[in-house]
Amino acid sequence: MAVFSFLNVSSKRKMLVFLWSLSPWFFLAIGLHHFRDIAWSFLLYHGLCLLPAVLLNRHHWQQHLKLPSRSDLMALLLSCIGFSLFTWITYSLLSDFLVDRELALRSLVDRGFKLSWFLPLSVYFLTVNPVLEELFWRGVVLNELCDEQQPILSPAGIWTNVAFAVWHFLVVRLFVAQTFVPLAVVCVLSVGFFLSWLYRKRDSLILPALYHSVVFDLAVIIILTMVVFGPIRFSEHSKLAPLFARIQG
């Protein structure tokens, strides 16, 4: 019960934001499993879940848009290069453990993905997604539930990052190998804590949004690139070739 002690407040706004932090489960479940469509999933999550909360609670984040310093941008560049190389090498060595390629391709095909979508979807995912997620999760949820005097590891800060991480289960279960699903969610949780710490340390949402984009979301695009464009092993040809044909069709 101590974990939820931060809810013992009179503020209806805090309760509403707390409940809204659960809403991605609802919107993504509809988009991914009812409509079974990538475009609908992004529209529901970004347009109906995140954007209204971001706009209605803009007083929380408008004062936290300080530009990063040169040293921050240099660290960001090195992180981007290092993590991208790490992702590529790790996937090359452990792809069978990390990603169920047949499952990933089938999930994409069943939700309307076409090869012509890859570039615009990647650009959207590297721009709109990190901006809205940082404004919502750090700018609204964290700021509303976790006072500036409270550490990130307070119950409110922990809840913010747990809520950010666990809904990703709905997505990762469609793409990664079953044995890796729990670890993938833990990785997202670690990313959430890092971005929250970075936001509080720099008092700016711009730098976390940049890390979210060119470090972590870019890693997802690298893996998707290798899934969609990587060579097909002879042993996989009978299972994967029909899926590739549908993507290209």
- Is 195 contained in some domain? yes
- Is 4 contained in some domain? no
- Is 1 contained in some domain? no
C-beta separation of 177 from 96 below 8 A:
yes
For residue 152, report the phi and psi dihedrals to the nearest 5 degrees. Answer: -60, -30
The total of structural domains in the chain comes to 1
Q: What is the per-residue pLDDT for 10?
A: 45
Task: Tell me which of 47-51, 70-74, 144-148 is least confident.
Answer: 144-148
Alpha helix positions (H), 99-235: 101-110, 118-133, 143-145, 155-166, 169-172, 181-202, 206-211, 218-229
Query: What global pTM score does this model have?
Result: 0.93
- Is 84 contained in some domain? yes
Orientation angle between helical segments 118-133 and 218-229, nearest 10 degrees: 160
Q: What is the mean pLDDT of residues 131-141?
A: 98
For residue 230, give the DSSP letter.
Answer: S
pLDDT of residue 5 exceeding 60: no
Number of H helices and number of E strands within the chain? 14, 0
- Is 119 contained in some domain? yes
- Tell me which residue range forms the domain holding 118: 12-62+69-248
pLDDT of residue 9 exceeding 70: no
* 179-220 residue pLDDT tens: 999 999 999 999 999 999 999 999 999 999 999 999 999 999
Cα dihedral across residues 118, 94, 214, 130: positive or negative: positive
Alpha helix positions (H), 50-100: 51-56, 70-98
- Is 31 contained in some domain? yes
- Is 182 contained in some domain? yes
- Is 34 contained in some domain? yes
